[in-house]
Amino acid sequence: GNDEATIYDAGSVPRRAGRDVEPCRFDWRSLLRQIHVFLHHTKQCRANGDSASRVLIKHRMTNIPLCLHLSRWIGIGFGPKMTGEELNVMWINPNNTSIVLSRRKAIAETLPAALPNQTAITLIKPAGSSAGNPFVSNNQLSFSYSRPQVLPESTLNTASTQFVWAYGSVKPATDSPTGVFNQHIATGTFTLNLAKPITSPTTTGTTTGTGAAASSIATVNGTSNNSTDLPDFSPPPTGLTDMDYMTIAHGIIMFIAWGILVPVA
């Protein structure tokens, strides 16, 4: 028979007599700190106003300015959905000196595959930039890139064009356009009439040029505008996303399992 007895030592977990058992230590303070940092980071990124894009069409070339947090990646798709459309995904390189531009295409809701031709889109370096990273200001990444209006994988019509956008929480740790990135934490869509100038400057748009030569510019910032000259953007999630709640719930469940149930078992 088994005559082992359970022995309880003050300040320790239960152990079996005659047997060395490695105590299960769970640093719940570390967990709470991690949750606090996670929530703080989420709040700061929301406050920084991550945006998707604004689009400028002129002379059959497309200039697309973007802005996001330094630690993230951002993507824009030239169509109404993620699958089947050309996607441009961007992030700051590991040396924090430039931007990685990646042309992608997804055939399913999985990691989009890199397209063979990665030179069709061109990063626009800011005029008069000096030492340091010219694309970084106030801990935010702001840059523009250009692409032809017509490419084998996608065409930007001068009339109404639909776009999708997304961004992820962690940028790829590579400067290769074929690098792997994590799933997005926010997505959205918008429709923009590229042939129609914006006639009234607002907080979500500006106008360049005059008359028929004016180009449409719009900024995706998660707000809706009922003007006929500005696109109606679908807003990004406010507060915590489903993934945020899943992460927090996972941490709480693991704390209960390893920090409470195991020691008292």
DSSP character string of 112-178: PEEPS---SSEEEPPTT--SS-TTEETTEEEEEEEEESB-SS-B--SSEEEEEEEEESS--S-S-TT
Pairing mode, if any, of strands 122-124 and 136-137? unpaired
Q: What is the mean pLDDT of residues 4-15?
A: 39
- Residue 197: which of 182, 212, 178, 177 has the closest Cα? 212
Output the pLDDT for position 191. 75
Q: pTM higher than 0.85 for the full model?
A: no
Higher per-residue confidence, 19 vs 249? 249
Within 13 A of 91's CA, how many CA atoms are on the CB side? 25
User: Is residue 80's pLDDT more than 70?
Assistant: yes
User: Is residue 103's pLDDT more than 90?
Assistant: yes
Give dist(CA 209, CA 56) in Å, integer.
12
- Mean per-residue pLDDT over the chain, rounded: 63
Class of 53-235 per CATH? mainly beta
Give dist(CA 263, CA 200) in Å, integer.
65
Give dist(CA 189, CA 81) in Å, integer.
8
User: Is residue 52's pLDDT more than 80?
Assistant: no
Output the pLDDT for position 101. 92
Give dist(CA 173, CA 181) in Å, integer.
9
Q: What is the mean pLDDT of residues 139-163?
A: 76
Name the E strands within 14-58.
15-16, 56-58
Q: What is the mean pLDDT of residues 126-131?
A: 62
Read off the tokens for 244.
Answer: 């945020």
Any idea which of 103-107, 143-147, 161-165, 207-211 has the lowest mean pLDDT? Answer: 207-211
Output the pLDDT for position 259. 58
DSSP letter string, 248-264: HHHHHHHIIIIIIIHHH
User: Is residue 151's pLDDT more than 70?
Assistant: yes
User: Is residue 115's pLDDT more than 80?
Assistant: yes
Q: What is the mean pLDDT of residues 90-118?
A: 88
Read off the tokens for 186.
Answer: 């926010």
Q: What is the mean pLDDT of residues 232-258?
A: 54
Residue 20: band (very low, low, confident or very high) from pLDDT cuts 50, 70, 90: very low
Q: Does the CA dihedral 223-224-227-231 come out positive or negative?
A: positive
